[in-house]
Amino acid sequence: MRLPTGLRARLVITFTLVAAAASVMVATIGYELAKAALVDRAEDSAIDLVTRELRQVTFPVGTLRQGEAPPETRDLQALAAALNGPGRSVVLEYGHLSYSDGPLTLDEVPSELHGRARGGVVKQRRVIRDQLYLIVGSEVYRKDGPIPEASGLRAFVFFPLRAEEKQLTTLKGSLMQGGAVIVLIALGVALVSARSVLLPVRRLSAAAQALGEGRLDTRLPVHGQDELAALTAHFNDAAAALELSVAELRALEAMSRRFVADVSHELRTPLTAMTAVADMLMEEAERLPDAPAEAVRLVLSEIDRLRHLVEHLIEVSRFDAGTATLNVESVNVYDAVQDSLETRGWTDTVEVNVVKGLAATVDPRRFDVIVANLVGNALKHGGLPVQVSIRGTENGLEVKVRDHGPGIPEEALPYVFDRFFKVGAGRSRSHGSGLGLAITRANVHLHGGTVSVRRQRPGTLFTVWLPGR
């Protein structure tokens, strides 16, 4: 059985358990006190009756004086009748003579009580024949002389305690009913109290959830001066500080994005001129000496790298600004892949496994970027053969690009789609921008798809899924 874990349930259960424990304790103490009072009253009444009746014995007993005769059966009968009453049994013993008035006999008198009766009035409770009795025993003393003398006559009276047991049973039932009522009242009070106590906590929880959802202007009214009021005030202060910090961060982020976009666009003009000059230098490089020719090739390589970096930065700035749009149309997947590879001169180095008649509804330009970035990454950092496999599924298009190189280290897999992340261990210096896979993921997400990566033996496998439309 699963125990409740909610704060309200725990408060209600704790409050109810405390009330129930207190109710049980009070009922138990009250029951025991009432029981002791009833028993004491019954014992006092019984002892008083026996003592009073025995004091009125007039027939001669014990040490018989001159002219006295021992008691006869009718004397014992008269004494037993005086001691008897509803439901009682009386047992008298005088020497070898015994007399019983009632269903109980001398055999039901406990031996220990029988012996103690010589010293005065004694009592003992005992269950006899499934019924509780109070047994009062005493020896009769002769007091007609200067000193009371033990007569040898003993009387044992069995008082039934049925009335007292009935009263205690009724009292127990009343206490149980009262305890149940108290527990129900405590449960109601606990529910009301828990609601009033937890209402501010629920409001704090809802406000915290609202903050987590981005509603940074969330505030709560402060009522009272207790701990919850102080907590609410602290929450409002923290929310205000968080809103201010987030606003500053957003402003800085917007400035950073604007700066990157502005710089990227500003670099386009000089890069265009540099590319034109580079083309001219490339034509003259073959006629230059080896050292100047190598320098020219290095400059051309770095210009090309810078051009790709600027293009990637401009693309990233579009995604950050939320201006990237999706223009989908039906595309022949085989032709789109072949065009992408042919444009970049990769047709002879990449194995393509695509059904020629396969069609998909995608953004052609962004689909080209996805394929080109994944294949280019495999060619630059992986090993041949590089394989592209594309198939249609029931709910979309699946694109797989695999190389057979050393593979990406396991610890680097979670970060390969992060911006500017480069795996340096075991690889030569990368000429990429570190943005290709990040742009790939952004284009896939813009389509509503997913992209993942995992190690192979050998190589690395990238899997893209684009939903059908």
Q: Are residues 236 and 296 in the same domain?
A: yes
| The pLDDT of residue 425 | 42
| The pLDDT of residue 3 | 57
Asked whether residue 2 is assigned to any structural domain, the reply reads no
**Of 288, 321, 354, which residue constitutes the final position of a domain?**
321
Percent of the chain with pLDDT over 90: 10
Torsional class of 135: left (φ above 0), alpha (ψ -120 to 50), beta (otherwise): beta
Across 352-361, average pLDDT: 89
Question: Can you give the length of the chain in residues?
Answer: 469
Burial of 293 (0-12, 13-18, 19+ CB in 10 A): middle
Q: Are residues 298 and 364 in the same domain?
A: no
Q: Are residues 257 and 312 in the same domain?
A: yes
Q: Are residues 28 and 156 in the same domain?
A: yes
CATH (domain of 252): 1.10.287.130
**Of 294, 321, 348, which residue constitutes the final position of a domain?**
321
Please check the confidence at residue 223 and state whether its pLDDT lies above 90: no
CA distance 68 to 411: 120
CA distance 23 to 456: 70
Q: How many CB atoms lie within 10 A of CB 96?
A: 5
What's the whole-number average pLDDT of the chain? Answer: 81
| The pLDDT of residue 429 | 46
Please check the confidence at residue 124 and state whether its pLDDT lies above 80: yes
Q: Are residues 113 and 247 in the same domain?
A: no
Please check the confidence at residue 428 and state whether its pLDDT lies above 50: no
Please check the confidence at residue 12 and state whether its pLDDT lies above 70: yes
Q: Specify the pTM.
A: 0.46
pLDDT tens-digit map of 193-222: 777 777 777 788 888 888 888 887 888 888
Which ranges of 213-332 would DSSP assign to H, the alpha helix? 227-285, 290-321
CA distance 250 to 87: 96
Q: Are residues 57 and 154 in the same domain?
A: yes
- Of 399-403, 421-425, 457-461, give the lowest mean pLDDT range: 421-425
Instruction: Work out the pLDDT band at 426, boundaries 50, 70, 90.
Output: very low
Total domains present in the chain: 3
Domain that holds residue 313: 228-321
Across 161-176, average pLDDT: 87
Tokens of 345: 């001169």
Please check the confidence at residue 260 and state whether its pLDDT lies above 70: no
Q: Are residues 316 and 333 in the same domain?
A: no
Q: Are residues 105 and 63 in the same domain?
A: yes
Q: Are residues 360 and 277 in the same domain?
A: no
Across 185-198, average pLDDT: 79
**Of 295, 321, 347, which residue constitutes the final position of a domain?**
321
CA distance 198 to 149: 79
Q: Are residues 248 and 158 in the same domain?
A: no
Asked whether residue 130 is assigned to any structural domain, the reply reads yes
